[in-house]
Each structure stands twice: as structure tokens, then as C-alpha cells.
Amino acid sequence: MAGDWLASNRGDVAAEKILDAAEELFARHDPGSVGMNDIAKASGCSRATLYRYFENRDALYTAYVHREAHRVFAEVGTLETGGDARTPGELLVNGILASLHRVRESPALSAWFAPDRRPIGGDMAERSEVIQARTEAYLMALGVDDVERRARWLVRVMVSLLVFPGRDDADERAMLEEFVLPTLELTQPVD
């Protein structure tokens, strides 16, 4: 096992191994209760090695959230979120619903938004530069103005739906169409 930590690309490999171990713990336990000792033990490295890659728990949480945000956006980008969508608004609603489904399907990610726990997922989503930048880019591609402010608001809407989901997919779609789309003024046909 010590050989794994000495590979030529050990920084990337070690950090990924640590984040993978953290993900397994997040899936089984309240993410807010998972400590650095737990992660070091689960990843098979020493605390000194763990702290070499992540200076504290917040840095590790941030790295995990950023890695997963990239994955969610990449997966949503490869899905046929458009389908029969003809307007940027329809594309946006489909993209939001696909993102919500991806987070809910992952035990590790959905644990960050449990309504009976500290709102760690909301805290991290609000502070994440990656989530903000990716949301801004998505809105910009749809032709939305004032993307910085609207992206922050949209992330809050999504966090709200993760913590307090609608009754079903149709209910969430209706809420997005009724309350989000008019605010973003997304009704023009896609070119």
C-alpha cells in the first residue's frame, strides 16, 4: 500500500484516493460529522499525509464539492437535456431537473442536503467558486443577462429543492416553470 503513495503522479492519485474515501464516508454518515481522522483511516494514509494534501477539513470539503460539481455539470452537459426543448427556458428547466436527479441519486451528495442536519450542502454551494462559475457559464450560454447575481439566486433555488423537494418531478417542473423562468425571462426560441 505504501507504494501507491510513491507513484510518479502521487499528488493527483493521493488526493483522488482521499476524496474517494471521503465520499464513501459521506454516503454512510452525516458529512458534517466526518472528521479528518476518519478520512485518513478510510483512505489508508496517515494524518500527516492527509494534511499534506488538504490543510483542514474545510479545504477537503471544498475540494470534494468542486470535484463533484465538475462531474455533475459534465454529466448534465452530456445528457440530452434539450429533448424537445425549443427555448432556453426549457433547456434550463431540463438542466436543473437533471442536476437535481444526479445529486439525489448519489448517497454521498444527497447526504449534504438532508433537511434534518446542519445545512452543509447549502453552505458549500453558496461558497463554491466552481458552482458559481459553472452556473454563470450555463446561464450565459442560454442568453441570460446579469449572470452573476442570477446564478447565485439559481443555486439557492436548487439547494432549496434539494433540501425541500417538490411532491414529484411534475411538481418541481411546474415550480421551475412558474417561478424561475419568468424571473430569468427565458422564452425565446433556441437558434
| Model confidence pLDDT, tens digit, residues 120-175 | 899 999 999 999 999 999 999 888 988 999 999 999 999 999 999 999 999 999 99
Rounded-to-integer distance, Cα 173 and Cα 74, Å? 22
Per residue in 96-126, pLDDT tens?
A: 999 999 999 999 999 999 888 877 899 999 9
What band does 178 get if pLDDT is binned at 50, 70 and 90?
Answer: very high
pLDDT of residue 80: 55
Q: Which positions ≥6 away from 55 have C-beta within 8 Å?
A: none
Task: Name the grid cell of 47.
Answer: 494524518
pLDDT of residue 103: 95
Mean pLDDT of 34-59: 95
pLDDT of residue 116: 85
User: Are 113 and 156 in contact, with CB atoms under 8 Å apart?
Assistant: no
pLDDT of residue 82: 53
Q: Please state the φ and ψ torsions of residue 35, each to the nearest 5 degrees.
A: -100, 170
What band does 79 get if pLDDT is binned at 50, 70 and 90?
Answer: low
What band does 6 get if pLDDT is binned at 50, 70 and 90?
Answer: very low
Distance, CA of 178 to chain centre: 24
Instruction: Give whole-number Cα distances, 65 to 22, 29, 58, 70, 132, in Å.
Output: 11, 16, 10, 9, 12
Other Cβ atoms less than 10 A from the Cβ of 174: the count is 14
Span of 11-15, 41-45, 47-51, 158-162 with lowest mean pLDDT: 11-15
The amino acid that residue 25 corresponds to is: L
Q: Which residue has the higher pLDDT, 86 or 68?
A: 68
Q: Please state the φ and ψ torsions of residue 113, each to the nearest 5 degrees.
A: -120, 20
